[in-house]
Homo-oligomer: A and B are copies of this chain.
Amino acid sequence: MPQETPPAVLSRARYGKAEVRLLHVDRATPRHEITDLNVTVTLAGDMAATYLTGDNAGVLTTDAQKNTVYALARDGVRPVEAFALRLARHFVEVGSVDRAQVRIAEYGWRRIHAGGQPHPHSFERQAGTRIASACAHCDGRAEVTAGLDDLVLLKSTGSEFHGFLVDRYTTLVPTDDRILATAVAAQWRIDTMEADWAASFRGARAALAEAFAITHSLSLQQTLYAMGEAVLAARPEICEVRLSLPNKHHFLVDLGPFGLDNPGEVFYAADRPYGLIEGTVSRPGAPDGDPEHQW
């Protein structure tokens, strides 16, 4: 008797708990340290039984995943790269899964100054988000990436854009002086499990901002590459940098109808549409990354 062809197959599956919000307070001394995190866990592997039949015997509940994040935080959460890796390795040991990925967003805080001194337990939120992601496999392999999100940069000169292809729909006027602004989303792969994570992040972040500042820009594409190159030059442990740079357009307002000139002073900051420039800059000879790690 011929077997029936199944009507459908499960070709890829993963599940987890997203956006576990966690504040950790280190009270080792009266000068508290706080760490403010948003943790997302993703487990992947052969999940046909669960998806096809509703048999949950292999399901580590997302509620337990949340509990695990809080429980393991009891031993400390800094640096976030190490915490992500510790969590990911924990999950591949527990579940009937092939791999676990843990992505953490860390929100920045600084101390409030009171009486001219940094306060021991009062803080003020800062802009920007630090990112860490770890992917661990049940065979012991692991990969860590770091990065940042929503680092908004702008230069008021030192940016040109001309010499571009002109097709029948091109009306843009070439310029040798424009505003360049972006909200950097960057992540980078670290070619070791033993980095000085804090120093690595600080160095990469500074390299990104400084390269943006000092590169005389001929295009946002060129600036992107310079930023990636600067990270690789600054930090030998980093082997690959992925950048996504929206071009936050600022258009010079035509004040002519009102009898006024506008020598690069008054701009309209547009919302949409926006250019979106993406690229990956790698160190030659870098080892291949983990194709299953979605960072």
- Are A51 and B224 CB-contacts (below 8 A) given A16-B275, A25-B265? yes
Q: Is the CB of A15 within 8 A of B165?
A: no
Residue A269 is within 8 A (CB to CB) of chain B in the complex: yes
By beta carbon, the residue of chain B nearest A159 is B121
A267: chain B residues at CB < 8 Å are 22-25
Q: Is the CB of A161 within 8 A of B219?
A: no
CB of A65, distance to nearest CB on chain B (Å): 8
CB of A53, distance to nearest CB on chain B (Å): 7
Chain copies in complex: 4
By beta carbon, the residue of chain B nearest A33 is B156
Complex CA–CA separation, A219 to B48 (angstroms)? 13
A221: chain B residues at CB < 8 Å are 13, 15, 47, 50-51, 54, 59
Residues of A participating in the B interface, judged by any CB pair closer than 8 Å? 5-27, 32, 34, 36, 40, 42, 47, 50-64, 66-68, 70-71, 73-74, 94-96, 109, 112-115, 119, 121-127, 151-158, 161-165, 167-172, 179, 206, 209-210, 212-214, 217-219, 221-222, 224-225, 228-229, 232-233, 240, 242, 246-247, 250, 253, 255, 257-258, 260, 262-285
